[in-house]
Structures are given as C-alpha cells and as structure tokens.
Amino acid sequence: MKILSVVGARPQFVKLAPIHRAAVAAGVEHVIVHTGQHYDPMLSDVFFDDLGIAAPDVHLGVGSGSHGVQTGAMLGALDAVFDEHRPDWVLVYGDTNSTVAAALSAVKMHIPVAHLEAGLRSFNRRMPEEHNRVLTDHAADLLLAPTEVAVGHLTDEGLAARTELVGDVMTDVLLEVRDRVAGAPSALVAELGLDEGGYYLATIHRAENTDDPARLAEIAAALGSLDKPVILLAHPRVVARAAAQGVALTQGALIAHAPLAYPELIAAALSSAGVVTDSGGLQKEAFLLRVPCTTIRTETEWVETVQLGWNVLAGTAEEIAAGVSRGRPDDTDAAPYGDGRAAERVIAVLDAARANGPVAAP
Ligand code: UD1
C-alpha cells in the first residue's frame, strides 16, 4: 500500500508523527508532502526533528497569503504531485487550508482520499476551519473520526457509511511525549525563573481573537491582569497583528515568548497552574495532562473536555479570570480520545478499505 500524506501547518506535523511511525512499522510506503503553509523553523522543522518524522519527500513552498491565494497555490501545485505518485490513498489532516486543497485536488483526480480527524464541528460559520472541515468531509471517501461525538456529526450529515471511529492520533503522541518529559524540569521554567505551578501558559492565534484590534487588546489586558505570570507562546500571526495594531503582548502579568518545540510545550504545560488558549490541540492536551484549561472561544469542537470539567469557555476578562482561578476539576479516568493507538488503527483501516474496494457511498 502507498499512502501520500499532505501536511502544512503545525498541528498537522504532530498528527503526522504517529502516522508515519505506524506506516513504517507496517511496511507501508509513505510519501510526505509539505505544502509550506507554515515555514518558520519553530512552526515546522522542529517538529520533524523532535518527533522523528522523515523529511518531506515534496515541499511545495506555498507560504502565507489570503485564503484564496494560499489555497489556490496549493491546488495548482498538488495535481502534478498526485499524478506523479499515484498513491492508494491521499491522507489529509484536520482543518487547515492545506487539508481542503489536498482533498479537492485528489478527489477530482479520482484518487481515494481519507480525512483524519473527520467530523469535528464548531457550528461557527465565521471560522475558516469549519468550512475546511465540512468541505473535506463531504469530499473524502473515508472519514477517520477521533471521537463518538464526531461520528455522530458525520451520521447527522448522511456520511455514516464512509465513517470509521479510530481515536485521536494527537493522543498517541501526547501520551508518549508526556512519559518522556515527566519528571524532567521544564526548560521554560528554568529560562524565565518561574515557580513550578506558579504561572499560566497561554496561546492565542485564531482570526476571531487576533484580527479585531479591540478584541486583541481586550484579551491582552485580561491576561495581563491575572494573578500569576502568563507566558504567551506567541504564534507569528498574533505577533504580526499586535505590532500592526499597537497592542502590547508583554504587559502586567503577560510575558510574550517565542513558540516552543513540542516536548518543551508539553513540559511547560505540565508544570503550569493552567492553560489559557484558543488552540484546539492544546485544549485536548491540557485535558490529557489533567491541567485545567480556559478556552478563549465561544465554542469548542472538543466538547468532552468541557463536559468532564477540565475546560471552560471564556469570552470576557471576568470570565477568563474566573476560569483560571476556579477550583481543580474532579479527577476522571474517562478516555474519550482513545487509548494512544489510533495511528495503528488508521493504517489498518486504510489497508482494509483498499482491499475491499471503494468505500460505500451513503
Ligand atoms: C493555521 C490554520 C489553523 C491552525 C493554525 C495552527 C488555516 C485556515 N488555519 O492558522 O487552523 O490552527 O494554522 O498554527 O489553515 N506566519 C508566519 N510564519 C509561518 C506561518 C504563518 O509568519 O510559518 C504568519 C503570516 O503572517 C501568516 C499568518 O501567520 O499570514 C497566518 O498563517 P496561516 O498559515 O495563514 O494561518 P494560521 O493562523 O497559522
């Protein structure tokens, strides 16, 4: 079997790591195509190095741009790549512009497409990622769902016949890296002279939080007035928007810091008093690490984290302050994201679906 993975943005490299390992272990030929959506070394190369992923076979070098320009450049470049490699499966990941471009290119070339992390929904049509997910799910031949809730959404949309529940591959990596860094001191704690458990770890990068100057200023001020140092791991997008809008990302308790490599991020989250974020991945990682999370969004795709009490949604400064200072949630041994072996299941499902011919249309 030959699988061609298309990735381009930071969270996709994390998901690629366990898939690549499982593919190699199963003797599957795995071609990696990097669109170049993310190109800063700390958003890209460092993940390949730290998570043991082979260098991309193809790099499209697309870079940044408006949604149309970026997605269109990927579409234009991918046809020739798929034509050259003619894989059994094109595997696309998550909800970025790289995801929808690869799904659209492959489906029009009649190459079977599988969508990893299918079925997540925020039901917020202002989010570019929501369109990327919905369009990709409806284009793809095989939908690899991370959770029962995601299976439910796909069923509601008439896609049950193409859906397989495999678990969450980010959990595979997280559990392994957690065990690797547990007990070792966090480099961030040492660098900034922080106390263990004496700071919050924050990330903000979504358009709805960064692109409106008043909203970004409100969030920065809210984080700056919290009761412990808040280390903001600043994505280039928030750095660029803050500079353009004259918003200080270091003010009061808030301290801007460059993004971290994945193992250092996990170590820093583990040592923190709590996470404050608008990232989907980090909400789930905080839950798996049993670190309380406050999410600066109006909804989440990872509803299990909220239902189990480890995540709260917060919009205003008051809600953010209340979120980070709430009591420790009740312990739970619930495992809605699987057992850490989702990637093996993905490879097995792809192999079985290939052997059994085209996946049934609904
Ligand atoms: C993208 C994904 C988002 C994901 C996030 C993870 C889409 C629509 N969004 O958002 O779902 O959560 O990745 O980080 O695909 N930039 C750099 N260097 C880089 C990459 C980006 O400086 O290596 C800056 C540029 O100013 C760029 C901006 O960040 O215009 C936004 O980058 P882009 O890739 O368009 O989206 P993200 O915000 O990273």
97 in contact with ligand 1, CB cutoff 6 A: yes
Kindly state if the Cβ of 203 falls inside 6 Å of ligand 1. Answer: no
pLDDT tens for each residue of 174-220: 999 999 999 888 999 999 999 999 999 999 999 999 999 999 999 99
Per residue in 37-92, pLDDT (tens digit) is 999 999 999 999 999 999 999 999 999 999 999 999 999 999 999 999 999 999 99
pLDDT at 292: 98
Tell me, in angstroms, the distance from the centre of ligand 1 to residue 289's CA. Answer: 26
Residues 139 and 108 in one domain: yes
Structural domain containing residue 54 = 2-168+338-356
In a domain, 224, yes or no: yes
Residue 331 lies in a domain: no
> What's the rounded Cα separation, in Å, for the pair 75 and 294?
36
What's the CA-to-centroid distance between 69 and ligand 1, angstroms?
Answer: 13
Ligand 1 and 39: CB distance under 6 A: yes
Q: Does residue 34 have its Cβ closer than 6 Å to ligand 1?
A: no
Of ligand 1's listed atoms, the one at least distance from the Cα of 279 is 12
Residues 22 and 131 occupy one common structural domain: yes
**Measured in angstroms, how far is the CA atom of residue 99 from the centroid of ligand 1?**
13
Name the domain count of the chain: 2
Q: What is the DSSP string of 205-218?
A: --HHHHSSHHHHHH
For residue 288, what is the enclosing H or E element?
A: helix 280-289
**Measured in angstroms, how far is the CA atom of residue 237 from the centroid of ligand 1?**
6
Co-location of 246 and 352 in the same domain? no
Distance separating alpha carbons of residues 97 and 21, to the nearest angstrom: 25
CATH number at 248 reads 3.40.50.2000
pLDDT at 200: 98
Residue with CA at minimum distance from ligand 1 atom 3: 96
Mean pLDDT by 10 residues, the chain (362 residues): 98 98 98 98 96 97 98 98 98 98 98 98 96 98 98 98 98 96 92 97 96 97 98 97 98 98 97 98 98 98 98 97 96 96 98 75 42
Residues noted as catalytic: 205
Sheet of strand 89-93, all strands in order from the earlier edge strand to the far edge = 58-59, 29-34, 2-7, 89-93, 113-116, 142-145, 163-165
CA–CA dist 177, 277 (Å, integer): 20
